[in-house]
Structure 1
Amino acid sequence: MSHLLITGANGFVGQALSCALLDGGHTVTGLLRQRGGALHGVDELVDSSADFADLDTVWPPELRPDCVVHLAARVHVMHDASTDPDAAFRQTNVDGSLRVARAAQRNGVRRFVFVSSVKAMAEIDAGRPLREEDPPAPQDPYGRSKLAAEEALTRYGKETGLEIVIVRPPLVYGPHVRANFLRLMDALWKGMPLPLAAIGARRSLVYVDNLADALVHCATDPRAAYQCFLVADSDAPTVAELARSLGRDLGKPARLLPVPPGWLRAAGLVTGRSAYVDRLIGSLQVDTARIRAELDWRPPFSTEDGLAATARWYRSMH
């Protein structure tokens, strides 16, 4: 069995990954900004400095993990208050990631799994599912920072022999989800009418336990070295299908209105939310053929399973 260090082990994905690794008999250390929040059985290493500036100082010499899974990041936000969002994202997602990789390499770590995002590639697809080899065209500071981090880490891996593995998930959902997915469930729970019935575009997404399972493969399978993988559920529902499925699981039938996409685009222009509307009505599917072929990976849970588990958690909170 392996010893893995997870940055952000107390977060949404970090806890799911920790659980999967512990269940598999692996040893897990969580690298955290402050003590607490990691699962029982996870050793905690604290670096409270900004963007891992003090990591070399706090890393104990006896800590020699086989692999680091880097989850900690400055996350995508719809309305960034920073005066220079690109610089702010770069400080954490590029410079901070490189600090972790360098500390890992200096302490004998063999593999570094970087959890990037499909946003490093695009916001919408070009009429077919995205593939890893497609030319990347990120559209916002978050996506640009993730792509820049991928490129910088890949160069560092070639220079040092550290096995860099890049994972690009789409929207991640599951119990304890936040942001837009949680807002959709809030709206369904309250019975709000939603203008989604006429949106036929499909969106890939990934259940958090499916992502955790894929990350275990990427961290422990020798075949994953130096690879880049898109990871998603087997299904890519339309936004309307997603809302209806969640509504059924919540026991709150979705009230969907057939508003034409053109009207939604016009509303986006008037309200200054065109980017949000474009993401809502645009297709973003990913092709997971590479990880299926290279690592023999299949999502262990269906989208139906993941949505039902997410709805059960939400109902338990209400």
Structure 2
Amino acid sequence: MAFSVLIFGANGFIGKNVFQFLKKEYNVTTCSLRTKESNIDFSNYEVYLNFVGKAHDHNKTASEEDFYHVNVDLTKNIFNAFIKSEAKIFIHISSLAALEEFESLKPLTEEDSCNPNSWYGKSKRKAEKWLLEQRLPENKKLIILRPPMVHGPGDKGNLGLLYKLISRGIPYPLSSFENKRSFISIDNFCFFIDEIIKNEGKLVSGIYHISDDELISTNQIIDIIKKVEKKNTPDLSLPKFFVKGLAKIGDIIPIPLNSLRLKKMTSDLTVSNQKIKSALGIEQLPLSAEEGLIKTIKSFKREK
């Protein structure tokens, strides 16, 4: 008999993809908190999946209260409904931003100290702390997942912006910086969710990092874009001292580059996914980091 899964926040990029993936095997229902669907019996599900979250503020109109309302208050409401239901497992999608947003000297683990910086990261961390403080009945589990940047077909994030730059033949100006980042393709993301549902008995309640196995540099991503687009655009390797000086100017006057943005674009930010892989007995993910990126970049090409 298939599990019954209730997904909150299925209208976003990740939620839509997970819904399409899970419905092939499970009885899946989506619930929008915006429309407050009253015809859903919240007690009739075995798995609660919470994708509700506010991450992007492209128009710069959101307040700090907006982030805390969506990322904290709505999470509390969904969790309280879970406690009253017959559901056995609550999977909450947090973010690497709850732990670190800019730089890591080593792959980050679930035991590392949290250093959120933005309203987004701080509100995500507050939701994590609140959830971990709640008393769970013996027959229920809480799984908090921290992914790094998720990408895939339909992604409207920073990877798409980088693709537009390189596909137009514009040289990338920061190739003198060699950084390493953790990402996760939507295929591997869905795989982790499926494995958690099928093997929840192997997991204890708590926080788990999910990511691709391999680390990828920005320069590698650019090479992949060039390969897919068949572009021979030369990289623009500006001296690091010049770029850093330009960023310091950007701290004072409004230009596209400042020190904070430069750090986010060129620093290492990596995580370890070993805890959840060991718990679930996963040896290999469906896609390598490079395979996932090629699939995403090809989807951008089709959408042009």
TM-based fold match above 0.5:
yes
Aligned pair in 2 of structure 1 residues 253, 19: CA closer, same or farther (>3 Å)? farther
Match of 1:275 among 254, 260, 278: 260
Asked whether 1:299 is paired with 2:285, we answer: yes
What TM-score do you get using the length of structure 2 for normalisation? 0.90
After superposition, residues 196-211 of structure 1 pair within 5 angstroms as: 196-211=174-189
Aligned pair in 2 of structure 1 residues 17, 197: CA closer, same or farther (>3 Å)? same
Asked whether 1:69 is paired with 2:55, we answer: no
Partner of 1:127: 105
Partner of 2:245: 266
Output the aligned Cα RMSD.
Answer: 2.1
**Contact 1:173 1:206 (8 Å CA) reproduced:** yes
- Work out the CA distance in 2 between the residues paired with 1:78 and 1:158: 37
Which runs of 5 or more structure 2 residues have no equivalent in the other structure?
Answer: 252-257
- Work out the CA distance in 1 between the residues paired with 2:84 and 2:225: 46
- Work out the CA distance in 2 between the residues paired with 1:254 and 1:238: 18
Please report how far the alpha carbon of residue 186 of structure 1 lies from its aligned counterpart in structure 2 after TM superposition.
0.6
- Work out the CA distance in 2 between the residues paired with 1:59 and 1:116: 28
- Work out the CA distance in 2 between the residues paired with 1:172 and 1:242: 14
The residue matched to 2:91 in structure 1 has which SS?
strand
Partner of 2:191: 213
Asked whether 1:89 is paired with 2:90, we answer: no
Please report how far the alpha carbon of residue 255 of structure 1 lies from its aligned counterpart in structure 2 after TM superposition.
3.4
After superposition, residues 68-217 of structure 1 pair within 5 angstroms as: 68-77=48-57, 80-82=60-62, 84-85=63-64, 87-158=65-136, 162-217=140-195
Which runs of 5 or more structure 1 residues have no equivalent in the other structure?
Answer: 33-46
Please report how far the alpha carbon of residue 126 of structure 1 lies from its aligned counterpart in structure 2 after TM superposition.
3.6
**Contact 1:244 1:253 (8 Å CA) reproduced:** no
**Contact 1:196 1:239 (8 Å CA) reproduced:** no
Output one character per residue of 1:236-271: Cα deviation in whole Å (capped at 9) or x when no partner: 111111111122123234532112333333222222
The residue matched to 1:29 in structure 2 has which SS?
strand
Paired residue type of 1:235: E
**Contact 2:9 2:52 (8 Å CA) reproduced:** yes
Please report how far the alpha carbon of residue 161 of structure 1 lies from its aligned counterpart in structure 2 after TM superposition.
6.1
Please report how far the alpha carbon of residue 280 of structure 1 lies from its aligned counterpart in structure 2 after TM superposition.
0.6
Please report how far the alpha carbon of residue 109 of structure 1 lies from its aligned counterpart in structure 2 after TM superposition.
1.6
- Work out the CA distance in 2 between the residues paired with 1:261 and 1:27: 53
Partner of 1:309: 295
Output one character per residue of 1:115-135: Cα deviation in whole Å (capped at 9) or x when no partner: 111111112344211111001
Partner of 1:29: 29
User: Identity, % of aligned pairs?
Assistant: 23
Please report how far the alpha carbon of residue 157 of structure 1 lies from its aligned counterpart in structure 2 after TM superposition.
4.5
Paired residue type of 1:220: K
After superposition, residues 4-43 of structure 1 pair within 5 angstroms as: 4-23=5-24, 25-32=25-32
